[in-house]
Amino acid sequence: MYIYSAFLLGCSFPSAYAQSKADADKSATKESKDSTSVVKNNEPTEATPYHIDTAYDPDEALFSEGANKYLEQYGIQFGLNWISETTGVVRGGKKKGADYAHEVEFTLDIDWEKIIGWKGFSTHLIAMNLAGRNTSADYVGDPYMNTQEIYGSSNGRFLRLYNLYAEQALWNNKINIKIGRYDVGSDFAVSPFACEYVTAATCSQMTSMGAQQGYSAWPNNVWAGRILYNITDQFTFQVGAYESSPFGDTGQGGPAGVSWGTKHATGAFIPVEFGYNPKFGKNQLDGYYRIGGGYDTSKFDTWSSQVTESGKQDSATQYWIMFGQMIHRNDPMETHGLYILGNWGHQSPSTSSFKDYYNIGFLDRGFWHARPYDQIGFMMTYYTIPRSLRGAQKYQMSQGDMFMENGSYSLLNNAISAQSNAMVFELNYGIAAYKGIKIMPVFEYFHKVGAYKNLYNDAVVFGVHTNVVF
């Protein structure tokens, strides 16, 4: 999970998310040849003859701006923000009820070129406090698609190290090398708008991506290395190598993120990705396009072998296509416009909890001139469960010996019945309450909860997301 107030030090880019946003911001400042120039300031232009009050920019820090301006000369930048999400089921699902979860995140970025003259070298750290409960598991009945995107595998930790890594920029920023403890989701299959939604359907990446252990995702970390090549201002290519280890207490950093041993590693995850960041037309309509894939050298028991004990194993692969394209510019401010967003992900059906995964939606920023920092977003998610997993679950049910104490099935994938497919809808409105403060009411609708056909009624969920950048 990434904050819009993350700092880009020197030549470095802390993550693929920050890279994408940096590219968008950089290209958004290029002026076109007519009056629709894209600008970063809030001054009136011929295209927008009104003043934009930046005092209500929710991405600006409340208190730390002055300190960071002073520390910048010494190559030090820090950030602190608090995110909370309260969501509750008002109809359908398992039962009515609500849960609260929060994340307090501290970031520290150091530009060593300013400190000791090491050109292009920087280091980055993110640590966090996580607390709360999971509405999806407690009340919706869907432990796979969280209503709260900040609820992760380490909620209830007073302090967790998310990542600690170094970056080296070379050849006038053509090459960026990143190495240390972090996750695949920091670099690959991530969009600059991934966390503008409250469900975990897109934040920090498609939920299906982290269903296989090779694609480590927030808030986990593994030993990792990545090389990014900026082919041109618009085209990028990156390749990486990431430790593949099991979830939970034994791998991916453990509960506190500081278990860095490799004795539980089973292989390496090797992803590649091409990126395209265009600007279209006289209105400088920016966008991003990503296509990539990853291969895990580990071997995993197939779903069928887990119930038949055949011993058959298979590798794990993933593919993804992502895009976000502005189709209308609302004003000259950076990313203020109407975007169409879409994602597709495919996982190995013999070993993954998901087969195909789709997102389609929109995000509109700056549409209301009186409140230029407000935004509205909609996202529809559809996903399918592999036939091999569903077949294995039905086989377990036919044996009649897979019951829990409450009388429901305990099946593969932690399911309580055979699974097929499901849909999730989200509509939210982001209110720029004040500088550094955003409040986002959200409506969520779960169809075929948990990918079960007739187990639960569709769930109606309401909630609120708050983000305070200190």
pLDDT at 242: 98
Q: What percent of the chain has a predicted confidence (pLDDT) above 70? A: 87
Pick from 41, 35, 45: which is nearest to 282 by CA? 35
d(Cα 38, Cα 316) in Å, to the nearest integer?
Answer: 43
d(Cα 150, Cα 83) in Å, to the nearest integer?
Answer: 8
pLDDT at 187: 96
- CA 69 vs CA 73, 148, 326, 395, 437: distances in Å: 8, 33, 32, 62, 20
d(Cα 113, Cα 120) in Å, to the nearest integer?
Answer: 6
Pick from 322, 101, 287: which is nearest to 208 by CA? 322
pLDDT tens for 169-213 read 999 999 999 999 999 999 999 999 999 999 999 998 999 999 889
Number of other CB atoms surrounding residue 92 within 10 Å = 20
Pairing mode, if any, of strands 175-182 and 160-170? antiparallel
Q: Which two tokens stand for residue 457?
A: 């009624």
What distance lies between CA 141 and its chain's CA centroid? 22
Confidence bin at 343 (pLDDT 50/70/90): very high
Domain ranges of the chain: 166-461
Q: pTM for this structure?
A: 0.88
Pick from 186, 130, 162: which is nearest to 253 by CA? 162
pLDDT at 60: 92
What distance lies between CA 109 and its chain's CA centroid? 20
- CA 356 vs CA 212, 347, 382, 420: distances in Å: 13, 7, 8, 11
pLDDT at 408: 60
d(Cα 139, Cα 90) in Å, to the nearest integer?
Answer: 10
Helix (H), strand (E), coil (C) string for 36-75: CCCECCCCCCCCCCCCCCHHHCCCCCCCCHHHHHHHHHHC
Q: What is the mean pLDDT of residues 235-244?
A: 98
Which one has a higher pLDDT value, 146 or 51? 146
pLDDT at 407: 54
The length of the chain, given as a count of residues? 470
Q: What is the mean pLDDT of residues 295-301?
A: 96
Residues 428/440, Cβ–Cβ less than 8 Å = yes
**Would you tell me which CATH number, out of the four given (3.40.50, 2.40.160, 1.10.150, 1.10.3470), belongs to the domain 166-461?**
2.40.160
Q: Which of 2-16, 38-52, 218-232, 290-304 has the lowest mean pLDDT?
A: 2-16
